[in-house]
Amino acid sequence: MSPEKPQESKKNGLAIFWEEFSRSNFLVIFLAIFTGIILGGVLVAVTTPEVYDAFKVSFFAGIGKAFMTAVNTYGALLTGAIGNPEKIQAAFASGDPLLIRRAINPFFESLVQTTPYIFAGLSVALGFRVGLFNIGAEGQIYIGALTGVWAGYAIPGLPPIIHIPVAMLCGALGGAMWGFVPGLLKAKTGAHEVITTIMMNYIAFRFSDWLLKGPMADPTEVTPKTPWILESAQLPQLFANPIRFHIGFFIALLMAFLVYLLLFKTTWGMELRMVGSNTNAAQYAGINVTSRTVIAMVLAGGLAGMAGANEVLGVNHRLIPAFSSGYGFDSIALALLGKSHPLGVVLSALLFGFLRNGARSMQLTVGVPIDIVSILQALILAFIAAPAIIRTIYRLKTPKHTEDIVSLRSWKG
């Protein structure tokens, strides 16, 4: 935002601030989330039979019941995500360490859910910055988990200080491999990465089904599962049970910082972004678009692969079928919400992680299905992608410079 010019100085400072603020992206992001949550609340209320019963009594009873239903739902979501303050207080008063850990567990569990979102969100965001739409994060997560878990159980005799990085790296390499194929095809033949990454996703699902049933199956199990990873490959947990919070979260933050450095503080990153914002100009400036495209997809795949490795090394400690349940797809919405900036990605990953974890306990306590989170994500994504909707609803001023959140290359490549 450029500062206002002097002729506007007749207005007082607050008005100027408001005008600037209402033109800014932050307000739109905030209102997009806010509107999504309101609409989600409405949906919960209209799908609750008790609300209709209350409407039969009187109109205001109905409205009150609807309002309370939505508030209770989001209340349950919130306490599920950060913990119940009363319980926390009681636990600290009792001084029993196990009780304390149980009371604060929801908060840390949300961070556990956030971690793969950060990795996967960075993957999609990096792609966006280079003008590539990586829908393949889900498949890359699977492959990263496969290679990560393999390194976790098949390489014995390493100390953790070596085994953990090796296993994480294996995960990154697996994902990178899965990103390399669409990247190469895009760069060499112009095959659009949206379609190729979708196809690569399904190939990854089938491939991992096969591996889990056959070559990588734990022979002692009836259902398809891999063996447990060795203790030396487990990402250390910071607290005792039941808190599963592990150092993967900090690795994710480190990766976000590294992606930030790469994109915004190195020549290389500038070239990558230049390919994303204007391919022709980049080519004219002598940047090798082909190699940058491949590198970007490899890096994006590697980041998503780390999300998979993080899950098996830090949380599950083995690989079971359908373990990812949509982290890769959610991360598309997440990266857009974070404006494809590493810091934005971390913040929206926190939002998504807390939502996801909160919704899980909400489903148990008030019986609202967890799928409400997908609905919220879709609504937020729509509003973020079409800020005009939000600006119309709230009568906001249009920004002076319309800035595309993603500048994707044309469909034909």
Partner 1 sequence: MTTTTTTPSIATSKGMRSRERRRRLIMGGIFLAAALFIWFVFVANITPGAQTTFLMAPGGSSNETADWVFSTGITLNVIAGILALLGVFQVVRGFGKITNSILAVVAILFIFGFLTWATSGGQTNLAGLLRVMVVRAVPLTLGALSGILCERSGVVNIGIEGMMLTAAFVSTVFASLSHNLWIGMLSGILAGGLMGLIHAVLSIKYKINQIISGTVINIFATGITSYLSSKFLQKTSYQFLNEPGMFPQVEIPLLSKIPFIGPILFHHNIYVYAMIILVLFLSFMLFKTRWGLRVRAVGEHPKAADTLGINVFKTRYMAVILGGMMAGFAGTYFTLGSSGRFDEVLTAGRGFIGLAAMIFGNYNPIGSMGAGLLFGFFDSLSVKASLLQVPLPSEFLGMVPYLATIIVLAGVVGKGHIPAADGEPYEKE
Binding site for partner 1 (CB under 8 A): 43, 47, 133, 135, 181, 185, 187, 189-192, 194-196, 198-200, 202-203, 206-207, 209-210, 213-214, 279-280, 283, 289-290, 329-330, 332-333, 336, 368-369, 371-379, 381-382, 385-386, 388-389, 406, 408, 410-413
Nearer of residues 258 and 285 to partner 1, judged by Cβ: 285
Nearer of residues 91 and 332 to partner 1, judged by Cβ: 332
What phi and psi values does residue 363 have, to the nearest 5 degrees? -60, -40
Q: Taking Cα atoms as reference points, which of 172, 347, 188 lies closest to residue 253?
A: 347
> Least distance to partner 1 from the beta carbon of 135, Å?
8
> Least distance to partner 1 from the beta carbon of 185, Å?
5
Nearer of residues 341 and 409 to partner 1, judged by Cβ: 409
> Least distance to partner 1 from the beta carbon of 366, Å?
12
Nearer of residues 157 and 215 to partner 1, judged by Cβ: 215
> Least distance to partner 1 from the beta carbon of 46, Å?
11
Ordered alpha helix ranges (H), 285-404: 289-311, 327-337, 342-366, 372-385, 387-393
- Residues 391-411 as b or e (16 or more Cβ within 10 Å = b): beeeebeeeeeeeeebeebee
Residues with Cβ within 8 Å of 157's Cβ and at least 6 positions away in sequence, in order, are none
Residues with Cβ within 8 Å of 334's Cβ and at least 6 positions away in sequence, in order, are 117, 120, 121, 124, 345, 348, 349, 352
Helix H or strand E segment including 240: none
Nearer of residues 43 and 350 to partner 1, judged by Cβ: 43
Nearer of residues 28 and 91 to partner 1, judged by Cβ: 28
Phi-psi region of 65 (alpha: psi -120 to 50; beta: other; left: phi over 0): alpha
Ordered alpha helix ranges (H), 233-284: 248-265, 267-277, 279-284
Distance, CA of 357 to CA of 80 (rounded, Å): 7
> Least distance to partner 1 from the beta carbon of 53, Å?
14
> Least distance to partner 1 from the beta carbon of 64, Å?
21
> Least distance to partner 1 from the beta carbon of 50, Å?
13
Distances (CA, A) of 37 to 42, 44, 246, 272, 362: 9, 10, 30, 36, 15
Nearer of residues 157 and 286 to partner 1, judged by Cβ: 286
Nearer of residues 18 and 207 to partner 1, judged by Cβ: 207
> Least distance to partner 1 from the beta carbon of 375, Å?
4
Residues with Cβ within 8 Å of 275's Cβ and at least 6 positions away in sequence, in order, are 130, 131, 282, 287, 289, 292, 293, 296
